[in-house]
Amino acid sequence: MRPLKTLQKLYDEESQVVITEKGSPPRALFYGEGFLQEDLPVGTRVIFPRPPLEGVPNVKAAIRWAINHPEGMDPLHALLRPGMRLTCVIDDISVPLPPMVTPDVRQSILEVVLELCADSGVDDVHLVIANALHRRMTEGEMKRMVGEKIFDAYYPDRYYNHDAEDPDGITELERTSHDEVVAVNRRVAESDLIVYVNINFVPMNGGHKSMGTGVTNYASLRHHHNPKTIRDSDSYMEPKASALYTKNTRIGTVIDQTLKVFHIETTLNNRMFGAPTDFLAKKEEDYTEADRLKFQALRFTLSKLPRAAARKVLNAIPAPYDVTGVFAGATEPTHQKTLEQSWKQYVVPVEGQSDIVIFPIPFVSPYSVNSILNPLLVQVMGLGYFYNLNRGVPLVKKGGVLILLHPAYDEFDPVQHPSYIEFFHRLLPETRDSMKLEHKYEKEFAENPSYVHLYRKGNAYHGVHPFYMWYWGENGRQHVGKVIVAGAENNHVPALLGWERTDTLSEAIEEARGFMGRSASISLLRIAPTVMVDVK
């Protein structure tokens, strides 16, 4: 008889960590606007997201309960009075990814809040999108986010994007104890009450970051959006280990001392894929024959489409997220509840770091909604966000190898990312040193009148934004010994980014083993859906 061990199932159904064995199925992996199907070496640790948490049974009831039982503040209805000036500040389109099915939870919150305002005689209400230095949302995107009824009632005079470059639209408050500029949108600053409407997609969202980043300007952002702050942050997702969080807290504390801000924060589960593509959330061991056929059909179809068409298909599939929690009130106690709920959904315990870590890079990022994942955004996803999806220590060992799966094409959206094009083709050939880029070129791009105009009047990210994308990958660059792009379709993009390339994942693993040793340990982090590792 065969030993009992070989009769056991190849993995534990309850575990989110699967060790690859000889009989393990090939993995379905994101590769930009397409997919790869790859057999991984025996012993590779595959880390899957947790199953989606149960959503609240009634979203609007949860919203009403939260605003009537807030943390550290009076109930919202008790803060309202006839004739007051109220501003709702709303998270922009960068979260969640992909955009959620309608009604968006921001619409549900606003419907409750605006009805309460009307009942309380509050007529002077504005809705301001907290886009900071992100691009302005389009009219269609704005309508989808809040629903037709609210859009028709408020747009464009009372529902609009924040403008960080409006000389008359920004007010400076008292500076922090570290002499940091605290600047906020003038309408927000002159309001009797601010209601911040948040979607907490990952733990670095929300809290003091909402106001301190969302409705400010370059003069304030530069205090924490810089290479030194990033280097001093061991993880963006863990407040106690993040200098970014510490500086946002200093700025946010000044805002809270000056203005009355009532936060409404929400958490989502990670139900990223709906009926047509729900198999992508499964372990491949759990695929049915129908799932395998659907994956092969999707992969074949996307491979035959022009890249722009494939992108359009993928962007057209909204995510059926469920709301798992609604919390309201003062900034810090509200955000603490939000963090606890986020970690329940996202964190997977993992034993030990790996010599080699593989990140499949999907087609979308917070900065490429309805656009293109250009080379700088591939960089920020791999070395910025995915590298930092941890508590404790990174998944990859110091000096280890990151393998990114993406075509790494040289393609930019000239409408959304004009300054990215100049940054990539003019500055990176000169230097990849973040400190040099900051001191020599950041101000030039931030004050470039053409980029300022495109930010204010078009739908372009601010001129300084590509610098932030480069800084965001600073910790990953300082930590790893080598980055390899598997499947890169050209040589010059990886070379400009300081990476190596291979045609296939197998070749990348062989090169990584040559660098780290034949016995090097390997982990694959299966994103998406969203997952964080708690490395012991």
Asked whether the predicted pLDDT for residue 8 surpasses 80, the reply is no
pLDDT, position 392? 84
Q: Where are the alpha helices (DSSP H) in 347-462?
A: 375-379, 418-422, 434-447, 449-457
Task: List where CATH 3.40.50.11440 sits in the chain.
Answer: 59-268
DSSP for residue 349: E
Q: Report the side by side order of strands in the sheet with 347-350.
A: 347-350, 532-535, 390-391
For the residues 150-167, what does the mean pLDDT come to? 98
pLDDT, position 7? 39
pLDDT, position 460? 98
- In angstroms, the CA 312 to CA 315 distance is 5
293: pLDDT confidence band, cut at 50, 70 and 90?
Answer: very high
What angle in degrees, to the nearest 10, is found between the helix axes of 289-304 and 307-315? 140
What angle in degrees, to the nearest 10, is found between the helix axes of 105-119 and 59-68? 50
Asked whether the predicted pLDDT for residue 3 surpasses 50, the reply is no
Asked whether the predicted pLDDT for residue 269 surpasses 70, the reply is yes
pLDDT, position 123? 97
pLDDT, position 206? 96
Give the domain 17-50+345-535 fold: 2-enoyl-CoA Hydratase; Chain A, domain 1 (3.90.226)
528: pLDDT confidence band, cut at 50, 70 and 90?
Answer: confident
The two most distant CA atoms of the chain are separated, in Å, by 83
Q: Which residues does 247 contact at the CB level (< 8 Å), separation at least 6? A: 178, 180, 223, 224, 229
**Residue 125: how many other CB atoms lie within 10 Å:** 22
Asked whether the predicted pLDDT for residue 341 surpasses 80, the reply is yes
pLDDT, position 6? 42
Asked whether the predicted pLDDT for residue 10 surpasses 90, the reply is no
Closest CA to 24 of 3, 1, 2, 44: 44
Please give the mean pLDDT across all residues of the chain: 96
pLDDT tens column, 397-433: 999 999 999 999 999 999 999 999 999 999 999 999 9
> Two tokens at 169?
């639209």
Task: List where CATH 3.90.226.30 sits in the chain.
Answer: 17-50+345-535
**Residue 2: how many other CB atoms lie within 10 Å:** 6
pLDDT, position 275? 84
For the residues 512-536, what does the mean pLDDT come to? 95
pTM, to two decimals: 0.95
Q: Which residues does 383 contact at the CB level (< 8 Å), separation at least 6? A: 402, 472, 473, 475, 476, 477, 480, 483
pLDDT tens column, 180-238: 999 999 999 999 999 999 999 988 999 999 999 999 999 999 999 999 999 999 988 88
Could you give the C-alpha distances from 230 to 18, 224, 243, 477, in angstroms and in order?
32, 8, 7, 11
- In angstroms, the CA 31 to CA 359 distance is 10
pLDDT tens column, 467-504: 999 999 999 999 999 999 999 999 999 999 999 999 99
13-27, 36-50, 124-138, 373-387: least confident range: 13-27
Q: Tabulate helix, strand, coil % of the chain (nearest 5).
A: 40, 20, 40
pLDDT, position 14? 59
Asked whether the predicted pLDDT for residue 53 surpasses 90, the reply is yes
486 backbone dihedrals φ, ψ, rounded to 5°: -85, 125
Angle ∠(331,469,432) on CA atoms, nearest 5: 140
For the residues 12-37, what does the mean pLDDT come to? 91
Give the domain 59-268 fold: Rossmann fold (3.40.50)
- In angstroms, the CA 429 to CA 95 distance is 32
- In angstroms, the CA 143 to CA 421 distance is 30
